[in-house]
Amino acid sequence: MRQILASLSVAITMMGAAPASAEGPVVIELYTSQGCSSCPPADALLHDLADRDDVIPLALHVDYWDYIGWADSFADPRHTVRQQGYAAAAGHNTIYTPQMVIAGQTHVIGAKPMQVADAIKAHQAPTGVAVDAAVAGGALTITGTTEQALPAGTTVQVVRFSARETVDIQRGENAGRTLEYANIVTDWQTVGEWSGADSLQLSIPVQGDAPIVVIVQQEGAANGPGAVLATAVLR
């Protein structure tokens, strides 16, 4: 069930731009929908977060509000499945928008800026895992190091996103509004697993100039997504 949210009045600059940990910026996943009347404040918060270097804010538009009169033009049923995985891992029976999942672990109502700020700060501690990425000749090279064994099921994921999009919404709960969205996920792929026994070395083909995010993430409870261990971003 969606949460009824107050209007967003606290600027994200409240925390400043804290330095990222050695393991990379903190991933923030916003589960949102163009058809959700409670989502625009969370979308605006994510838009502000996109200007920071210590976080990787990603908007995953879901499809389960499409029935109320407006089909989200960015919605992907795989985003709904991923959010359901987080709910199962946390022992929750329902999913909602707007929801933020921070570092794969902390669930926050999407337009609660102080809670988001606290969660970001809590997940800037080192994890002992590092990953790097580079693109050359149409190939993405991913390297990683760790001094510890990684949990079984730890995966390497590659995300592509569109930095900015503007949408005129004509029907549904946000009818008549023109909304600007940031960091809209267009593709999310698992490209390998990593045990930590050896350094990570992967090379995969890439096309286009859309930003790239590399995420190393362990598996959570109930086979859902778990803690994010390391990230790298190419804008």
User: 71-130, pLDDT tens digit by residue?
Assistant: 999 999 999 999 999 999 999 999 999 999 999 999 999 989 999 999 999 999 999 999
The residue with tokens 């004509």 is 170
Q: Render pLDDT for 17-67 as a digit per residue (tens, 0 to 9).
A: 333 334 899 999 999 999 999 999 999 999 999 999 999 999 999 999 999
Closest CA to 99 of 84, 111, 114: 111
Strands 129-136 and 99-102: unpaired
Q: Is residue 56 within 8 Å of 162, Cβ to Cβ?
A: no
Q: How far apart are CA 45 and CA 116, in angstroms?
A: 10
Indicate the SS3 state at residue 118.
Answer: helix
Q: How far is CA 163 from the centre of its chain?
A: 13
| DSSP reduced 3-state for 12 | helix
3-class state of residue 206 by DSSP = coil
Average pLDDT rounded to a whole number, residues 173-196: 98
Residue-wise pLDDT for 201-234, tens only, equals 999 999 999 999 999 999 999 999 999 999 999 9
Q: Is the pTM of this model over 0.85?
A: yes
Q: What percent of the chain has pLDDT over 70?
A: 91
Is the model's pLDDT at 16 over the cut of 80? no
Q: What is the pLDDT of residue 224?
A: 97
Q: According to the model, what pLDDT value does residue 175 have?
A: 97
Query: What does each C-alpha distance from 132 to 59, 179, 231 come to in angstroms?
Result: 22, 34, 8
Q: Where are the alpha helices (DSSP H) in 14-138?
A: 40-49, 77-90, 113-122
Q: How confident is the model at residue 151 (pLDDT cuts 50, 70, 90)?
A: very high
Question: What's the CA gap between 135 and 158, in Å, rounded?
Answer: 13
Q: Which residue has the tokens 């389960």?
A: 64
Average pLDDT of the chain is 91
Beta-carbon count within 10 A of 40 CB = 23
- The rounded distance, in Å, linking the Cα atoms of 162 and 67 is 25
Q: Looking at residue 147, what is its pLDDT? A: 87
User: What's the 3-state SS for 185-231?
Assistant: EEEEEEEEECCCCCCEEEEEECCCCCCEEEEEEEECHHHCEEEEEEE
**Residues in CB range of 84: below 8 A, 6 or more apart:** 95, 224
Peptide bond into 19 cis (omega under 30): no
Q: What is the pLDDT of residue 15?
A: 32
